[in-house]
Every structure is written in structure tokens, then in C-alpha cells.
Amino acid sequence: MATMPAFPRTSGADDRSLSSVRPSVTARRRRDPYRLRPLPQEDVFFFCKQIDNSRLDREPDPKARGVAWSTIGAACVAVVALAAATFPALSSTLAGYKLEALRAEQRHLVEERRSLEFEEAIALSPDRVRVLAQKHNLVPPANGQVIHLDGDDDAVAMVK
């Protein structure tokens, strides 16, 4: 045993001898209101003995290897079962995130399309075209420069 309780020896003869000689001493001791009552098991002392097992060689347990492998297998089965149970919820959550990202991208592309259509409308406005034409010295053709074809097959426009 590593620990063993030790009980100190008390003799009841001391109390009996004091009470027979002087009864007032034991009566005073019992009536003392400031004296604490004893705690449970306060007379038990434990002594610890140091054990040195450094020189011992541990023998391998033949059953321990099988127990370890079965524990590893059970843990793997539990992990696979947990993954299979949480896969549908996880995949639906990820699909929701992807759907929300696609909706945000769609909103961004619609806004970009609106801004491009607005810029195109500004660029193709007649006032803007007139300003650009005057800037590049583009003028309307004179009366003699335009030849109208009346649907004759032998009439061909010629460039001078």
C-alpha cells in the first residue's frame, strides 16, 4: 500500500484522572465557548512513500494493440457518419452562399449595363454628333455631290 493512515494514541486515563482529582478543570474545558469542536478525520495522517519504477521494463500487452486498432476504426466510422450527416446541410448552405453571390453579380452587371446604355445615348445624341462633325471638318454634302438612284439597274454610283 502506498498510503496508510496513522492514528495517534490518546489515553482516556488523563481525562479520568483529571476529573477525579479536579472536576472543575474538565467542566471548564467542556464549557469553553471559544473552543472549536474537532473536525472529522482530523486525527488521521497520511504518509506517502516514494516509489521508483525507473528500472522496470514494461511488458507489451498483446490485447492492447487490438484494442487500439478497434478504437481507431470506431473513431473513423464515427467521423464518416458525422460527415455524412452534416454533408446535406453544409452543401445547401454553400449553395445559398453561391446563389447570393450570383445575385449580387447580376445586380452589379445590370447597373453597369444601365450606365453603358446611358453613355451610349449621350454619345449618339444629335447635338453631340454635330459637335464632333464640326470638330473633324465634316460638313453636309453640296447639292451636286449627291446622286439619287431611281431603281435603274444600269445606274451605278461612281466615286470621283
**Residues 3 and 46: beta-carbon distance below 8 Å:** yes
More confident residue, 64 or 79: 79
Q: How does DSSP assign 51-94, residue by residue?
A: ---TTPPPPPPHHHHHHHHHHHHHHHHHHHHHHHHHHHHHHHHH
| For residue 10, pLDDT beyond 90 | no
pLDDT (mean) for 51-65: 88
Find where cell 450570383 sits: 102
Which of 1-5, 36-40, 61-65, 97-101 shows the lowest mean pLDDT across its residues? 1-5
Q: pLDDT grade, residue 79 (50/70/90)?
A: very high
pLDDT of 30: 59
Residue 41: which region, alpha, beta or left (left: phi > 0; alpha: psi -120 to 50)? left
Helix pair 23-31, 13-21: axis angle to 10 deg: 110
Distance CA 97, CA 108 (A): 17
pLDDT (mean) for 43-63: 87
Q: Mean pLDDT, the chain, as a whole number?
A: 81
More confident residue, 97 or 131: 97
C-alpha distances in Å from residue 19, one per residue of 31, 74, 110: 14, 72, 107
pTM of the model: 0.40
pLDDT (mean) for 79-96: 96
**Residues 8 and 47: beta-carbon distance below 8 Å:** no
pLDDT of 32: 72
